[in-house]
A = this chain, B = another copy of it.
C-alpha cells in the first residue's frame, strides 16, 4: 500500500502551510474558513496547492467562526484562519461558543513576521504598546491548547499536537503562525505517520474504566425507574453507536438534553423527548424527575444540580459520564475514564437477562393537535407540529436558540435527523454562520454518498438574522441551497418572553428595524432562488405539501409572520424569568 506522500505526490520538503493543510486533508477537513490578510496570505496560497481543498472566504470573522463551528459539528474538526489582532479579536465569541459546547475548531492566526515581533516594531493591528503576545494570552482562556510557531520548534510536531489536541478534546486550539514562517520548509515524511487520534476503543482497558462499568452494571440491573439522558458530549465524542446499543439492550426510557438532541433515534419506542427542566413536556418530567437511576451520557457541564436546563432530579442516584471523567451519585469522581471507553465496555458487558426493570409503554406525545382553519393566522404551536411531518430522514436542522430552538425541541424527528444549535452558549445570530458550515460539510460528505439528498433547514428569528445576515452572501457565493425559514415576530421575542412577568415584555428595546427580508438574497447577488411569505395556516400547509418546494434544489427563503409574543406552548406556559435562579418541582409527582 502506498503512503500518503506517495499517493498525493508530496515532495520531501514542503512549506509549513502545506504541511498543515495536508494534515487537515487527512482528517477530511477540506474547506477552510476565515478572511484573508497580508499576514495570512502565504498560508492561504498553500490551500490552493492541494486539489481536494478549498478556501471558503467569509463575509466577516465572527460569521466565519460560526461556520467553522457548524462544519465541525458535522465533520468533528474544522479550521478557521484569521489575521493578527483585528481578525482574531473578532472571533472570540465564536471560539468561546465552541469551547463551551465542545466543538473542535483549529484557529490559525497569521501573525506579523517573527523579526518584527522580536524587535517589537509598531505595526498596525496592535494596541500600540508593542505587546505582541496579548491576543495569544486572551485566546488561552478559551482554548484547550495554544501555540505560536517559532523557527526553532520542531514545527511538524507542534502542528500535529495542535490538531491532535483539538480533535481528541473536541474543543478549540489556537495556532499562531508568523507570516515569514508560512513558507518555511519542513519534512513531509511526518505526513506518513498517523496522528495519535483517540478514535476507537482504548486498549488495554484501565482499572478505573472496569471499576466504573461494574458500578454502572450494578445500578442498571437494580434500577426500577431508570432513564438514560444523552447530553452534548455523546455525539461530540462520537459515542452514538455505543449509546444506542446500551439503550437497546436495557430498554430504558431515553431522553436527551437540547445539546444531546439527535443522539437517539427519536422514532424508537423508548424515546420520550427532550429534558429541559421545567419547560419539558409533562411525560419527560415524570420520567426524569422521578427516576430512581439516571445515566447522563456525554455530560457537558460542570454542575447539573441546578442549571440553565433546570434539572431537578435528585442527585442521589445519578451517574454523569463526562468526556474524560465521571461522577457517581454526586460523590465519587473517576478522573480518568474516557466516555467512549466506558460506553463501549458497558455495551459489551451488559447482560439484559439480569435487568430488574420492567418496561412500561412510553406515552405518545400529543404533538399535532387539530388543524386550525386555513385562514387562521399562523402560530408557533401548530407551525412546529406541521413542520414535524415535513421533516424527513437525513435532514439537518439548524436553529437559533430563540423560540425556534424551543420549537425544535418539542417535536420528534424522523430517524437520522440532525440538529445544530447552541443551547448552552446561546449566541444570537449563530445559526446563519453555522448553517453555511453545515451546508459545506454535508456537501463534502455527500460526495462520498454518506449523506445524500440531505436537506439543510435553517430556522432563524428576524432579530437574530440581523446580527449575521451577510453570511447568506457566502451561501450564495458557493451556490448552496438551504431552506431559510425567517421567523418574523418583529423583534427579540425570546427576550420579551424571558421578561414576560415584568413590564419589560413590551419594551421598545426589544423592537428592531423592520427589514424586507425577502429582498436580502437579490441584494447579496443571488439569482437562482425562491422566496415566499407565509402568514396563515393554510399557506404553510399548502407550501409544505408542494413536492417541488420540498425538494432541495435552489436556495429557498420562507418568511413566516408570527405574533410578537408567540412561542411554542411549553415556553408560553412555563418559562418565566424567575426560573433562571431556581427550578420548580412538577406539580403532580406521579410515579409511573
Binding site for B on A (CB under 8 A): 35-38, 41-42, 44-45, 48, 55, 57, 59-62, 85-86, 89-90, 92-93, 96-97, 99-101, 112-113, 115-116, 119-130, 134, 137-138, 141-142, 300-304, 306-308, 401, 423-429, 466-470, 473-474, 476-477, 492, 495, 498-499, 503-504, 507-516, 519-520, 522-525, 577, 580-581
Contact = CB atoms under 8 A, between A and B. Distances in A.
B495 A37 contact: yes
Given A57-B509, A513-B477, A504 B128 contact: no
Contacts of A126: 100, 424
15 contacts: A38-B498, A38-B577, A41-B504, A45-B504, A48-B507, A62-B90, A116-B580, A116-B581, A125-B427, A137-B141, A473-B513, A473-B515, A476-B513, A515-B523, A523-B523
B581 A504 contact: no
Contact of A85 (B306, B423, B425): B425
Nearest to A304: B122
Contacts of A59: 466-467, 512-513
A60 B60 CA distance: 12
B128 A509 contact: no
B580 A55 contact: no
A428 B507 contact: no
Given A41-B495, A122-B306, A466-B470, 19 more contacts: A44-B507, A45-B504, A57-B509, A59-B466, A59-B512, A60-B468, A86-B426, A92-B138, A101-B128, A115-B581, A116-B580, A121-B303, A122-B301, A122-B307, A128-B300, A134-B141, A137-B141, A473-B515, A516-B523
A516 B112 CA distance: 35
A41 B519 contact: no
Nearest to A123: B308
Given A89-B93, A303-B120, A303-B122, A519 B509 contact: no
Protomer copies: 2
A492 B40 CA distance: 14
A477 B513 CA distance: 6
A474 B510 CA distance: 14
B99 A127 contact: yes
Contacts of A96: 85-86, 89, 127
B36 A128 contact: no
A170 B61 CA distance: 27
A406 to B, nearest CB: 13
Nearest to A427: B86
The 4 closest A-B pairs by CB, nearest first: A89-B93, A519-B523, A477-B513, A60-B467
B425 A86 contact: yes
A44 B499 CA distance: 13
A60 B93 contact: no
Given A36-B492, A36-B507, A306-B121, A128 B60 contact: no
Contacts of A142: 127, 134
B116 A512 contact: no
A508 to B, nearest CB: 7
A505 to B, nearest CB: 10
Contact of A515 (B85, B99, B525): B525
Contacts of A306: 119, 121-122
